[in-house]
Amino acid sequence: AMVAAIPTQAGYCQLLDLGANVDCSAENLYQFAVMGAVAAQALGIHRPRVALLNIGTEDIKGNQQVKLAATLLQNARGLNYVGFVEGDGLYRGEADVVVCDGFVGNILLKSSEGLATMIGARIEKLFKGGVLSRVAGAMAMPLLKRLQADLAPARHNGASFLGLQGIVIKSHGSAGVQGFQSAIQRALIEIQENLPQRLHGRLEDLLP
């Protein structure tokens, strides 16, 4: 499964799968949750909250695969499963790891990147609309630049393939210098944390 960091109000959320597996069974989603939790721990989150992305938070919501995966996760040992999360809850930071199939995950990722770019362009355009707008823009520009840099897709470039025997990071096809730097940085963290071996050891404990 491919996993990458998505910015939220609380910091970041690890989202997977991002497109490696378009059609997923309940068992696949369960395995993604286990791998995502281990990856989040390697990034410094002691007891990551794991959630399934769904169209509602009620138990009756969702397709059959998501409902079955929820049952598996509820019975999992050692996982901090917190239930379903909707798209807005993801951005509020209600979970540290959010699991979905690759079809949904890829659409969500690309939509997030497009939204961040659009908001930055809209704000820049507003502050160029007139004299007062330019003055206000000049005063707010340092904060806006920090926000734009924090939400920039290039800063979060680099999706990690989990479940392999080695470390593989996929870069965005349109990535520039900063994007490749972010991808390399993620690879370095996974090397330092010895992520493949950590995954192997924890999977034996968590998978039935």
Question: pLDDT tens, 56-94?
Answer: 999 888 899 999 999 999 988 888 999 999 999 999 999
- The residue segments making up the domain with residue 202 are 2-111+158-206
Tell me which of 46 and 96 has the higher pLDDT: 96
- Whether 93 maps to a domain, the answer reads yes
Looking at the 3D structure of the chain, how many domains does it have?
1
pTM for this structure? Answer: 0.81
CATH code where residue 34 lies: 3.40.718.10
Rounded to 10 degrees, the C-alpha dihedral 50/53/57/60 comes to -110
- Whether 32 maps to a domain, the answer reads yes
Tell me how far apart the alpha carbons of residues 87 and 9 are, in angstroms, rounded to a whole number: 13
